[in-house]
Amino acid sequence: MSPAILYAVCVLGALGLYLLVRRPRAAGTGTRLAAVAGILLGLGAFGWLVIGAAESIAPGQVGARPGVFYIMFSLVAVASAVRMITHTKPVYAALYFVLVVLASAGLFLLLEAEFLAFALIIVYAGAILITYLFVLMLAQQAPDPDNPTGQAEYDLFPREPAAGAVVGFILLALLSRMIFQGAGQLEGPDAYTAQVQAWNELTRMPERLKELIAEGGDEEITLGWGEEQPILTVAADGSATVHYRLASGEPKTLALAEEAMPENVQSVGLGLILKFPVSLELAGVILLMAMFGAVILARRQIELTEDEKRQAAGLRRLGHHDEPAPPRGGGG
Amino acid sequence: MTPTALAMVEPLSQLTLGHFLLTSAALFVIGLVGFLTRRNMILMFLCTELMFQGAAIALIAFGRFHLDVSGQVFVIFVLTVAAAEAALALGLIVLLYRRKETLSAEAWSELKD
């Protein structure tokens, strides 16, 4: 796809988004028409980008059409993201974000990241979004005679939709140009290397290997045959063999079954612990500090007078033993 | 060479990678436009979460393409930071709401002077 067509498609997408986001103060008959036109333009632009990807990223690549599930999940994600930024009721916008999270969990499943797909649903849809909903409902304004729907003015009318759409267009044009140019030049591993990489995860889990060997009846073993022989070899058909020695020194091998391949959770956990141990600790510190910060921020701040501080510390008040305490000001 | 054994770990094609990256770019851009156009402070923060989603999909797609779990590990950290950010930002917003009884970001525009 030539850059000119790509930019034109991005302009169409941005125009569609603008028509959807814009909400004129005097709602006329054109509003609904503009919304329909916006939906059509946005859908058309996204569809064109996905289809155009086939021609420009990998010409002649067979059998790599986007799958049904990819189309379904990404359409749901993009459509509900648009609905989220256009909906006038904040609670509904938050619920549409739940839909985005569910759809991208589906995309994660397609990418074989099962652990993260479910972690995303639990952490985002279950925890973060509930916090957002709580705050949204806490900050809801009660309906009054002037404003019977209870909807605030700042939810009804967007700020600078045209400028926002222009910024969005520039970013989308840059990103999709990079994707169209760059993705075709990336070199991924071929089928055999992929298999070797997947099996080699196992050599980092010696205890798991020993368990597998113990299931075959051999206990008290040493992995590997020596310096020159790797613990695990992968044949050309993708099957793996473990080499180990019995306590008597007799070398043996065990062909690994397909079920022995490390699962997603095992690989992610191992990667987390082996490659990023310090970051893991730092993440814990960040969460702890965020908790402290939130507690301190959300607490009502009460100014204490000098006397009250002394009393709280178990000291005697200054002067005036019998008089009632002076009225304190500045509370709240 | 039997194809069944090799099919256990199938590498991702460049085209599929491109598709997932396009979805992630679209989500990121929509989140950015939402951040710029919404005037409700809570929804502005929700739009940053949408941008996090886009970034997470890109990270996982690249990790799957190179068959490296680091992408997924990064997404775990993104989740952590998103949770911390949500806690802090919502605490701040509750504090601001108590002062002015409005969630409009423009109510605080004198801060820029």
CATH code of B63's domain: 1.10.287.3510
User: Greater confidence, A161 or B24?
Assistant: B24
On whether residue B51 sits in a domain, the answer given is yes
On whether residue B80 sits in a domain, the answer given is yes
Interface test with chain B among A270, A297, A301, A302, by most B beta carbons within 10 Å: A297
Instruction: Look at residue A220 in the predicted model and tell me its pLDDT.
Output: 75
Number of domains in chain B: 1
With CB atoms and an 8 Å threshold, state whether B106 touches A154. Answer: yes
With CB atoms and an 8 Å threshold, state whether B37 touches A57. Answer: no
> Per-residue pLDDT for A320 more than 70?
no
On whether residue B33 sits in a domain, the answer given is yes
Residue B45: band (very low, low, confident or very high) from pLDDT cuts 50, 70, 90: very high
- Mean pLDDT over A320-324 rounds to 55
The half-sphere exposure of B76 on its side-chain side, counting CA atoms within 13 A, is: 24
On whether residue B5 sits in a domain, the answer given is no
Long-range Cβ contacts of A297-302 (<8 Å, 24+ apart): A297/B88, A297/B91, A297/B92, A297/B94, A297/B95, A298/B91, A298/B94, A298/B95, A300/A332, A302/A331, A302/A332
On whether residue B110 sits in a domain, the answer given is no
Q: Is A188 helix (H, G, I), strand (E, B) or coil?
A: coil
Chain B residue with Cα closest to A72: B23
Burial class (CB in 10 A: 0-12, 13-18, 19+), A190: exposed
Q: Does A81 touch chain B (CB under 8 A)?
A: yes
What pTM does this model have? 0.85
Long-range Cβ contacts of A183-186 (<8 Å, 24+ apart): A183/A53, A183/A57, A183/B14, A183/B15, A183/B17, A183/B18, A183/B21, A184/A56, A184/A57, A184/A58, A184/B14, A184/B18, A186/B14, A186/B17, A186/B65
On whether residue B25 sits in a domain, the answer given is yes
**Minimal Cβ distance to A107: which of B17, B23, B43:** B23
Range of B35's domain?
A: 15-104
Q: Within A201-329, where are the H helices?
A: 206-215, 264-275, 277-298, 306-312
> Per-residue pLDDT for A121 more than 70?
yes
**Contact partners, residue A37, CB within 8 Å, separation at least 6:** A16, A19
- Mean pLDDT over A37-44 rounds to 85
On whether residue B3 sits in a domain, the answer given is no
Interface test with chain A among B73, B81, B101, by most A beta carbons within 10 Å: B73
With CB atoms and an 8 Å threshold, state whether B95 touches A297. Answer: yes
**Per-chain mean pLDDT for chain A:** 82
Instruction: Look at residue B106 in the predicted model and tell me its pLDDT.
Output: 84
Q: B47 contacts in A (CB within 8 Å)?
A: 84-85
> Which tokens hold the place of B53?
């989603």
Residue A331: band (very low, low, confident or very high) from pLDDT cuts 50, 70, 90: very low
> Per-residue pLDDT for A282 more than 90?
yes
Ranking A142-146, A185-189, A277-281, B102-106 by mean pLDDT, the lowest is A142-146
Q: A112 contacts in B (CB within 8 Å)?
A: 64
The proportion of chain A whose per-residue pLDDT surpasses 70, expressed as a percent, equals 86
- Mean pLDDT over A167-189 rounds to 87
On whether residue B77 sits in a domain, the answer given is yes
Instruction: Look at residue A88 in the predicted model and tell me its pLDDT.
Output: 87
With CB atoms and an 8 Å threshold, state whether B23 touches A272. Answer: no
